[in-house]
Every structure is written in structure tokens, then in C-alpha cells.
Amino acid sequence: GAGVSQTPSNKVTEKGKYVELRCDPISGHTALYWYRQSLGQGPEFLIYFQGTGAADDSGLPNDRFFAVRPEGSVSTLKIQRTERGDSAVYLCASSLLSRATDTQYFGPGTRLTVL
């Protein structure tokens, strides 16, 4: 079946602009995760959704970052007033059950470049 998809694959923006990154999880997966991966590093946790609610947003770096999942499926990560330090690959993952011990399937990521 279809895996996790993310759009856009690449996003170039200017410092101070607003961006939205979209994630389509595997159909039927209740848990959805956002990670950020900087060059040469492992994925870094940002936020976790269990259904429609954000169960853990402790990884969001500051209040410029916000994510929603209004119908328990598609999720959007929103970044306001982007900064050059926000440049990274933003990865989305989903799992069937809502626990970290369930296999997480990753999307291809969105490469964000802030000029």
C-alpha cells in the first residue's frame, strides 16, 4: 500500500516568511510524529499526535513552530518567521498504534532551506 508521503519535497523561503509542511500518514495509522534532521545528525523529535490531539509537543524548539492534525489523518507543520537555523529536513512518521514501541514508518521528508 501507499507509504507516508510529504509535500513539498523541497521548500526554499526567505528569512521571516511563513511555511507549511504537509504529511499524509499511512491510512489507518493513529500515531503521527514529526522529526527534524540536520545534516549529519539523526532525526530529532518535534511533536507526536495520538489521533487529533498533540500528545507530546516537548520537542518543538519555540513558539514559532506549531502543528495540527484536525481530522486525525493529514498533519501540517507550520513555522512562522522562519530563521536560517530552521533549515533542515523535516521528517514525518506514522505508526499503527499509539506507542513508541510500535514500528514507525517515515516519509521522504521536506528539505527546508531558509535564505
Residues that bind another protein (CB under 8 A): 4, 33, 35, 40-45, 48, 50, 55-56, 59, 91, 98-101, 103-109
Question: Cα separation of 54 and 46, whole Å?
Answer: 11
Q: Name the minimum Å distance from CB 56 to another protein.
A: 5
Burial of 13: CB neighbours in 10 Å, binned 0-12, 13-18, 19+: middle
Q: Which is nearer to another protein, 7 or 80 (CB)?
A: 7
Q: Which is nearer to another protein, 15 or 99 (CB)?
A: 99
Question: Cα separation of 59 and 77, whole Å?
Answer: 13
